[in-house]
Amino acid sequence: MTAFPQTAATRLVRVTDLHRMKAERQLIVMTTCYDTLFAKLLDECGVDVLLVGDSVAEVLNGEGSTLTATLGVRRALVVCDLPFLSYHVSVPSAIANAGRIMQETGCAAVKLEGGRKRAETIRGLVDAGIPVMGHLGLTPQSIHVFGGHRVQGRDEAAARRLKADAQCLQKAGAFALVLELVPAPLATTIAKQLEIPVIGIGAGPGCDGQVLVLHDLLGLTESFQARFVKRYATLSDEVRSAVRQYAAEVRDGSFPAAEHSFAE
Site for ligand KIV, rule CB under 6 A: 32, 51, 53-55, 81, 140, 178, 201, 211, 213
Nearest distance, CB of residue 7 and ligand KIV, angstroms: 29
Q: What Cα–Cα distance (Å) separates residue 173 from each residue in 48, 94, 186, 195?
A: 21, 15, 22, 11
Secondary structure class of 110 (helix, strand, coil): strand
Nearest distance, CB of residue 58 and ligand KIV, angstroms: 8
Nearest distance, CB of residue 140 and ligand KIV, angstroms: 6
Q: Rounded distance, CA 117 to CA 172, Å?
A: 11
Residues facing residue 79 across a β-bridge = 51, 109
Residue nearest to ligand KIV (CB): 53
Give the residue with the Cβ less far from ligand KIV, 82 or 186: 82
Give the distance from CA 135 to its chain's centroid: 10
User: Among all residues, which ones are annotated catalytic?
Assistant: 180
Nearest distance, CB of residue 64 and ligand KIV, angstroms: 16
Q: What Cα–Cα distance (Å) separates residue 82 from each residue in 26, 59, 93, 129, 229?
A: 27, 17, 12, 16, 24
Give the residue with the Cβ less far from ligand KIV, 49 or 157: 49
In degrees, to the nearest 5, what angle opens at C-alpha 36 toward C-alphas 106 and 22? 65
Give the residue with the Cβ less far from ligand KIV, 23 or 210: 210
Give the residue with the Cβ less far from ligand KIV, 51 or 190: 51
CB 188 within 8 A of CB 207: yes
Residues facing residue 212 across a β-bridge = 31
